[in-house]
Amino acid sequence: MLNDKYMVDYTEGEKWEGKRILVLDKNIASYQNATPATPFLNWELVEGLFRNPQYYDNLTIIQQGFSEDTPEVIIDKHEVMPAIFDKLPEMKMRYRKEGEVYYLKS
């Protein structure tokens, strides 16, 4: 029997099929049937940006990434988006939250 913790659970990604998504976590299974949005694909590389919204440069990079490639869905496993949205309220107005997921309002 294979150890499940070493395997990617692709069933998570079925929910987002055909959507442009941003996953703020190391688990990339959600990208399986979706299209990555924004340049922030690797959580380990961008975690510092999202965890430090007090720095203007970080907010500028995040805002630019969102404006150039807006995600329809943001999966926020680490609850970093509330602090980002506090600093960028115009971005917050574009999304509605359900649990750890933000959906672009239509």
Q: Phi and psi of 26, rounded to 5°?
A: -75, -25
Calpha distance 63→31 (Å, rounded) = 21
Evaluate if residue 79 carries a pLDDT over 60. Answer: yes
pLDDT of residue 14: 73
Please, what's the largest Cα pairwise distance for the chain? 50
Q: What is the pTM of this model?
A: 0.87
Task: Give the tokens for residue 86.
Answer: 């506090």
Number of H-type helices and E-type strands within the chain:
4, 5
Mean pLDDT of 73-88: 98
Residue range 67-83: average pLDDT? Answer: 97
Pair of tokens at residue 105: 């309002």
Quote the Cα angle for 45-47-50, to 5°: 130
Q: Residues 2-47: pLDDT tens digits? A: 555 555 555 555 789 999 999 999 998 999 999 999 999 999 999 9
Share of the chain above pLDDT 70, in %: 88
